[in-house]
């Protein structure tokens, strides 16, 4: 597995990470805990050093799964990212909350569940409009000084917010959705973080599974699977959006690769400081995704794929309006 560096503070990770959310949150039904632990350990064996979780996934049990799985690999260069930023009551998200006291409480809980003395990368999960971002960054700066956190990250933050936070405590990584069918960050966000020397960690780089070509208009989603309510995953939208899958499939055939590998290779080719974190609960998909690091798309091929994808009109919003405001994904 190749390595990449996120930000200017020296955070080195595997070129592809593993998003662990789906092991206990968002994509029901969930695998048995022991199966998830086995998969995470297989990822380590394959050279993956970057694992993503959050207190709200579950909530809480995702961090416990990741912590138990990675316990045998302490001091082996493993980087675990987790997130704070939600008010969790009775096992439910009740809005955003990034007050300094909440951040500190979240960090203490994450440290315990992960079984570590220091969090490698700590993200604000979603921007809290009621708390100045300078206060958030200042709190994380204090936690870094106290040895409880190593690196600071933001998720789904706007350019102005990123700049304000970075001025208080250097931001190493921005985590936001980015893929061949979700590219709104190219206009302002990516140029901003490139200017500031911040790495980019795309979540859902495979379009929540759709870009792999394994989800057609006949697929039904179980209760507890977020795709059941996402506009982009209605039967009508999936039928229309299949045109993008066909574009990717044509490139995959040329490279003797899979759709997933081409979609990830496209993301990797955008910038040397982009590290996608595809999620999976299946070992063969883990192996498939990791294989994307060996696919070298030329600049001409990247441009061709980008242009071809832009000719497809994507149907459906990436989230419902309510999810856009409060989602922990």
Catalytic pick among 27, 57, 123, 319: 57
Which residues have CB under 8 Å from 60's CB, separation 6+? 109, 113
57 is catalytic: yes
Bond from prior residue into 59 cis (ω within 30 degrees of 0) = yes
Sheet bearing 18-19, strands edge to edge = 18-19, 50-52, 79-84, 119-124, 149-155, 171-177, 199-203
Task: Domains for the chain: give ranges and CATH numbers.
Answer: 3-326 (3.20.20.100)
Count the helices and strands in the chain (H runs, E runs): 11, 11
Q: How confident is the model at residue 316 (pLDDT cuts 50, 70, 90)?
A: very high
Which residues have CB under 8 Å from 174's CB, separation 6+? 153, 154, 155, 157, 162, 189, 193, 198, 199, 200, 201
Q: Is the pLDDT of residue 81 over 80?
A: yes
Model pLDDT, residue 309: 96
pLDDT in tens, 103-132: 999 999 999 999 999 999 999 999 999 999
Contact between 265 and 295 under an 8 Å Cβ cutoff? The reply is yes
Q: How confident is the model at residue 74 (pLDDT cuts 50, 70, 90)?
A: confident
pLDDT in tens, 24-33: 999 999 999 9
What is the token pair recorded at 232?
């982009």
pLDDT in tens, 295-312: 999 999 999 999 999 999
Q: Is the pLDDT of residue 326 over 80?
A: no
Q: Which SS3 state, helix, strand or coil, does residue 221 take?
A: coil
Q: Which SS3 state, helix, strand or coil, does residue 197 take?
A: coil
pLDDT in tens, 149-166: 999 999 999 999 999 999
> How many Cα neighbours within 13 Å face the side chain of 299?
1
pLDDT in tens, 235-273: 999 999 999 999 999 999 999 999 999 999 999 999 999
């Amino acid at each position: 597995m190749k390595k990449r560096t996120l930000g200017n503070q020296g955070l080195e990770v595997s070129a592809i990470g593993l998003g662990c959310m789906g092991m206990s949150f968002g994509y029901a039904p969930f695998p048995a805990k022991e199966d998830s632990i086995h998969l995470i350990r297989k990822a380590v064996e394959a050279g993956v050093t970057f694992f993503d979780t959050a207190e709200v996934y579950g909530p809480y049990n995702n961090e416990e799964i990741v912590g138990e799985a990675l316990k045998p690999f302490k001091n082996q260069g493993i980087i675990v990212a987790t997130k704070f930023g939600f008010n969790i009551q009775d096992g439910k998200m009740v809005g955003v909350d990034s007050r300094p006291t909440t951040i500190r409480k979240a960090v203490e809980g994450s440290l315990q569940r992960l079984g570590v003395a220091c969090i490698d990368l700590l993200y604000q999960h979603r921007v809290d409009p009621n708390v100045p971002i300078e206060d958030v960054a200042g709190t994380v700066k204090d936690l870094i000084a106290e040895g409880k956190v190593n690196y600071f990250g933001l998720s789904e933050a706007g350019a102005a917010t990123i700049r304000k936070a970075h001025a208080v405590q250097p931001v190493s990584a921005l985590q936001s959705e980015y893929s061949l069918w979700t590219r709104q960050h190219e206009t302002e966000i990516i140029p901003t973080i490139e200017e500031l020397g911040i790495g980019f960690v795309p979540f859902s780089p495979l379009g929540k599974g759709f870009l792999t070509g394994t989800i057609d208009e006949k697929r039904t989603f179980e209760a507890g699977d977020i795709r059941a309510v996402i506009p982009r995953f209605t039967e009508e939208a999936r039928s229309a959006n299949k045109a993008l899958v066909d574009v990717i499939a044509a490139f995959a055939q040329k490279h003797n690769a899979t759709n997933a590998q081409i979609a990830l290779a496209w993301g990797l080719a955008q910038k040397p400081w982009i590290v996608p974190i595809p999620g999976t609960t299946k070992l063969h998909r883990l192996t498939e995704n990791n294989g994307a690091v060996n696919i070298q798309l030329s600049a001409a091929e990247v441009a061709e794929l980008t242009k071809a994808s832009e000719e497809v009109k994507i149907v459906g919003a990436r989230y419902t309006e309510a999810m856009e405001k409060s989602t922990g994904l």
